[in-house]
Amino acid sequence: MRNRRELSRIIQPSSRLFYIVLVIFAIVAAIMKQYILALSEAGAVILLGAYTWFSGKRRRETVLDYIETTAYNFDGAAKGA
C-alpha cells in the first residue's frame, strides 16, 4: 500500500497549491462584492478538481496495470530461461 502512494506521488505531482490560490482568488472576489466572478471561480475549482481526480485515478490504474503486466512478463521470461 505504501508503494502505491509513493508511485502516485511520482506520477502526479501535487496541485494543492494551485487550488489554494484559486480558492483565495474566489474569496477575494466575494469580499470585493464580485459575486458572479466568485461563483465562476468556485465552479471552475470544483470542475478542475473533479477532472484532476478522475483523470489521475484513470492514469494510476493504467500505470499500475502496465507495471503488473511488465513484472508478469519478466517473471515468465525468467522461468522460461
- Could you tell me the pTM of the whole model? 0.57
Residues 6+ apart with CB under 8 A from 29: 35, 37, 38, 41
Which of 52, 53, 48 has its CA nearest to residue 22? 48
pLDDT class of 39 with cuts at 50, 70, 90: very high
- Beta-carbon contacts of 48 under 8 Å, excluding residues fewer than 6 positions away, are 19, 22
Looking up cell 466575494 gives 30
| pLDDT for residue 52 is more than 70 | yes
Query: Do residues 55 and 63 touch, judged by C-beta distance below 8 A?
Result: no
Give pLDDT, residue 43: 94
